[in-house]
Amino acid sequence: MSAAPTVEVLTAADAERSQRRAAGALADAGLGEGDRVAFCLPSSAALLCAVLGALRTGIVPVLLNATLTDGERDRLVADAEPALAVLDPRALAALDRGPEVRLHPFPRARPMHYTSGTTGQAKGVWTGVWDAATAAAAFGDEADLWDFGPGDVHLVCSPMYHSVSIRFAGGTLLRGGTCVILGAFDAATAAAALEGAHGPRPTTAFLAPSALTRLLALEGTTPERFASLRLLVHAGSACPPALKRAALEVVAPEVLYEFYGSTEGQFTVCPTGEWLARPGTVGRARPGRELSVDDDGTVWCRPPAHAAWSYWRDEAKTAAAWRDGSFTVGDLGRLDRNGFLFLDGRRDDLIISGGVNVYPAEVEAVLAEADGVAEVAVFGLADELWGQRVCAAVVPTPGAATDRVAAAVAALAADRLAGYKRPKQVEVVDDLPRTATGKVQRLRLPEVLGLA
């Protein structure tokens, strides 16, 4: 049995001092406004303070998924061209020994997170460095929406390479609140934290639906466990109605919220009362935003000026995502007459597993190199815990043994891919379904294989 994750309590005062030391260490290392510093580490108080300290001096943290293989990580580090890469705990600890320096009151940028497209090539989401007025507007956009304040204790359950973790934790600390930080998500540890086993009981928390499922499934789950919360937010993947209703058995309706957004930007917020009146909606446009839907169902969002972004050094992809001041991430949906958004599906090939995006083309490029593989197509299947699980359909080369091909695919995935990208199911098939022009129809694979 693996050990329970670390739990740290971080107050605003302690965080402020640590942020100042981290900013001083980065300055001593020669970093300045607009430079990038890459982090690829599990969640911790030290990481959160280093990120916030960098942001408050105009240095842009590049937050990479800590479960990436060395090869995956190194490719993204090379693309980001950081002035400094902090990739192990000792390097992170060294940042906390810098001289304290003065900081801007608010982050001067958003961290750069990588998101992929259907081509499988990761893209950094970049905002540049903001002036003081833009920084204040961007901070207030999030902190005011959730009403973070000095009395809040925020439970950090999601990895800090997810953009929401820094937004919520940073907003809480910079409004004078406290964070309880899990080094990794574990349902029993999160439950104990909610009950005050590690310090003050949380007043706010964010959970991806997969994490919420595991938390609710614990033996002894009662409303008392969640009684200290004024706000419990979920997002990151579709929330099954059964999960929402199970949460409402132990969490008051006025406490439970969801939002719809992406690495690129935030679209909606949805109080539970609005969801109960319109089951399935992800809410209406967040303050300062306007939503629209094309004739083909593509969802567009017009954000406020402080929420503008571009894809890192990729003008073509940026231009394709923006139109007349609005952007899309390719999701499909519909708006009712009152402006409530209902999502009809994600980008054609995207798999969302545990709130994390998995792009089939990226996984296919790796699996195609396995011995005995002639063709491979990666697709998602519905999963009660993760929302979707990653699966692969493989066409073997002539004469290749089915069991050996499946084993080769699994072995290569274990060696080259982060755990969340690895197929949980490999189907060996004679052929793949295609369009008239020969394009593989990934979305038809569950039906064709009898797995729908």
pLDDT score for 352: 86
Residue 451 pLDDT more than 90? no
pLDDT in tens, 238-253: 788 888 999 999 999 9
pLDDT in tens, 382-401: 888 888 999 999 999 889 99
pLDDT digits (tens, 9 = 90+) for 13-71: 999 999 999 999 999 999 999 999 999 999 999 999 999 999 999 999 999 999 999 99
Region for residue 43 given its phi and psi (left: phi exceeds 0; alpha: psi -120 to 50; beta: otherwise): beta
pLDDT at residue 74 tops 90: yes
Own/partner pairs, 289-297, CB within 8 angstroms, 24+ separation: 290/326, 291/267, 291/335, 291/339, 291/341, 292/326, 292/335, 293/333, 293/334, 293/335, 296/332, 297/332, 297/333, 297/334, 297/344
Q: What is the pLDDT of residue 349?
A: 74
Task: Tell me if 249 sits within 8 A of 242, measured CB to CB.
Answer: no
Predicted confidence at residue 118, as pLDDT, reads 42
Q: What is the pLDDT of residue 419?
A: 92
Query: Residue 197's Cα: distance from chain center in Å?
Result: 27
Three-state secondary structure readout of 246-313: HHHCCCCCCCEEEEEECCCCEEEEEEHHHHHHCCCCCCEECCCCEEEECCCCEEEEECCHHHCCEECC
> pTM here?
0.86
* pLDDT of amino acid 244: 92
SS3 track for the chain = CCCCCCEEEECHHHHHHHHHHHHHHHHHCCCCCCCEEEECCCCCHHHHHHHHHHHCCCCEEEECCCCCCHHHHHHHHHHHCCCEEECCHHHHHHHCCCCCCCCCCCCCCCCEEEEECCCCCEEEEECCCCCHHHHHHHHHHHHHHHCCCCCCEEEECCCCCCHHHHHHHHHHHHCCCEEEEECCCCHHHHHHHHCCCCCCCCCEEEECHHHHHHHHCCCCCCHHHHCCCCEEEECCCCCCHHHHHHHHCCCCCCCEEEEEECCCCEEEEEEHHHHHHCCCCCCEECCCCEEEECCCCEEEEECCHHHCCEECCCHHHHHHHEECCEECCCCEEEECCCCCEEEEECCCCCEEECCEEECHHHHHHHHCCCCCEEEEEEEEEEECCCEEEEEEEEEECCCCCHHHHHHHHHHHHHHHCCHHHCCCEEEECCCCCECCCCCECHHHHHHHCCCC
pLDDT at 82: 98
- In contact, 179 and 48? CB cutoff 8 Å: yes
Q: Report residue 69 as tokens.
A: 């293989």
- Using the predicted structure, report yes or no on whether residue 117 has a pLDDT greater than 60: no
C-alpha separations of 74 from 37, 38, 50, 136 in Å: 14, 11, 21, 34
Q: Which two tokens stand for residue 272?
A: 């539970």
pLDDT, tens digit, 9 for 90 and up, residues 301-351: 999 999 999 999 999 999 999 999 999 998 888 999 999 999 876 666 788
Q: What is the pLDDT of residue 112?
A: 98
**What is the spatial distance between Cα 141 and Cα 288, in angstroms, rounded to a whole number?**
9
Which residue's entry shows tokens 């009950």?
Answer: 195
- Residues with Cβ within 8 Å of 426's Cβ and at least 6 positions away in sequence, in order, are 391, 392, 394, 406, 409, 410
Pairing of strands 204-207, 178-182: unpaired
- 127 pLDDT above the threshold of 70: yes
C-alpha distances (whole Å) from 224 to each of 139, 191, 199, 201, 228 are 32, 11, 17, 12, 8
Q: Do β-strands 36-39 and 178-182 pair in parallel, antiparallel, or remain unpaired?
A: unpaired
CA dihedral 308, 312, 316, 318 (to 10 degrees): -20
Q: Nearest to residue 442, comparing CAs of 360, 333, 370, 384?
A: 360
pLDDT digits (tens, 9 = 90+) for 401-427: 999 999 999 999 999 999 999 999 999
Quick one: what percent of the chain has pLDDT higher than 70? 96
CA distances from 131 to 95, 217, 432 (A): 25, 46, 52
Let me know: does 326 contact 301? Beta carbons within 8 Å: yes
